[in-house]
Amino acid sequence: MTSRSASAAAFAQAKRFIPGGVNSPVRAFRGVGGEPFFVSRAAGSRIWDVDGNEIIDYIGTWGPAILGHAPEPVVTAVREAAARGVSFGIPNPLEVEMARLICQWVPSIEKVRMVNSGTEATMSAVRLARGFTGRDKIIKFEGCYHGHVDSLLVRAGSGALTHGEPDSAGIPRPLADLTLCLPFNDREALRAAFQREGAQIAAVILEPIPANAGLYFPEPGFLETLRELCTAHGTVLIFDEVMTGFRVARGGAQEVYGITPDLTTLGKVIGGGLPVGAFGGRAEIMDRLSPDGPVYQAGTLSGNPLAMAAGLAQLHALERLDGWSRLERLGAALEDRFRSAIRRHGLEERRTFHRIGSMFCLFFSRGPVRNLADAAQSDREAFARYFHGALDRGVYFAPSPFETGFLSLAHTEEDIEETGRVIDAALAL
């Protein structure tokens, strides 16, 4: 049995000073039971906890560590940037280099503004869409998570789902009532909502590939219908690519599906592990932002040189290494291990594996999984046994059935081999 006494002591201390002992709810293991471990260091595909246990990491700090942990290009860039000053609050060339790269890699983005988290990005994008259209209502989809924005914590995914409080306390009912929440992949519900109140809808925001209720995919025609309806009604279409941006393809999910949103939100990968978010899109909309336009949005540390240096180093390395091809190869190898273990244990009717590139998820239910209602069928107890079984054998998967796993360029074929053996053992529990 893996010893985690030092983590237990650290958690006891943490709970004295930090709500729930964590700075973000999903870290608390409430979705799987038990107590979280504390990490002491990480490098490549591995993390070491404070008890010295070495673990293969398939979370990668929830997406940012696409090169693996402590990648040399990022660490060097951060060290060199820090020596020149950690933050200025004054425009600096790195912000322009980052903005130019984002606009070049994501053609739908004509102008972009940096912020400090995915939440700030989606919050700002929704306010901008409301300011641009002069409308108040927005549409989101059940199970999609866009950060802890008041208007978007309505039947959200991720930690909000895991903790069974999709409609968070503290959100004024009149504000929540301005958010229409529809089932993902339900084109009829979408058409009916637009038919009923299309002229009042400022924006539709979605994860084009939902990954916060487990990982599932838009069905053929869904994104196309969404694009048509938004265009017809003058509604701003916002793709929340905080998770998929620069991961599922260089141009994100919008490149994979060939759909052009009006605004896109980004985060995670673009910060190389430092606090960064961004939102951008049509110049006609972005130019409504202060100081040119009437929609106010600001941030002390937005575009700070350390985060820009880290993000640029990561993105340039990703392109230099043609990371997306290698991530696809690694993902296919991992998928093969999952599927052969599912077959070996005769679980084809009770497990559903989804993957796109380096993002993957194992649902503990039969397929198809097309939306939150399907994902919610997951056998949580069986998932918890699998999660802890894997962790006790040195592999860290997401501590919730409503999250997605991530591979990095630091994962090796040997890691995948070792993980395959662990999956086989954990699925038998």
Q: Which residues bind ligand KE4 (CB under 6 A)?
A: 24, 26, 62, 117-119, 122, 145-147, 158-159, 207, 212, 240, 242-243, 267, 277, 403
Shortest Å, Cβ 398 to ligand KE4: 8
**Rounded CA gap, 373 and 213, in Å?**
10
Closer Cβ to ligand KE4, 302 or 341, answer by number: 302
Pairing verdict, β 39-43 and 201-206: unpaired
Options 57, 240, 262, 415, the catalytic residue: 240
Shortest Å, Cβ 223 to ligand KE4: 16
**Rounded CA gap, 146 and 30, in Å?**
20
Closer Cβ to ligand KE4, 36 or 118, answer by number: 118
Is 240 among the residues known to form the active site?
yes
Closer Cβ to ligand KE4, 120 or 341, answer by number: 120
**Rounded CA gap, 53 and 65, in Å?**
20
Options 49, 137, 268, 374, the catalytic residue: 268
Closer Cβ to ligand KE4, 142 or 207, answer by number: 207
Shortest Å, Cβ 84 to ligand KE4: 26
Closer Cβ to ligand KE4, 62 or 397, answer by number: 62
**Rounded CA gap, 21 and 7, in Å?**
12
Is 145 among the residues known to form the active site?
yes
Shortest Å, Cβ 310 to ligand KE4: 15
Shortest Å, Cβ 243 to ligand KE4: 4
Options 57, 140, 145, 415, the catalytic residue: 145
Q: Angle at CA 171, nearest 5°, toward 169 and 172?
A: 125
Is 268 among the residues known to form the active site?
yes
Catalytic (active-site) positions: 145, 240, 268
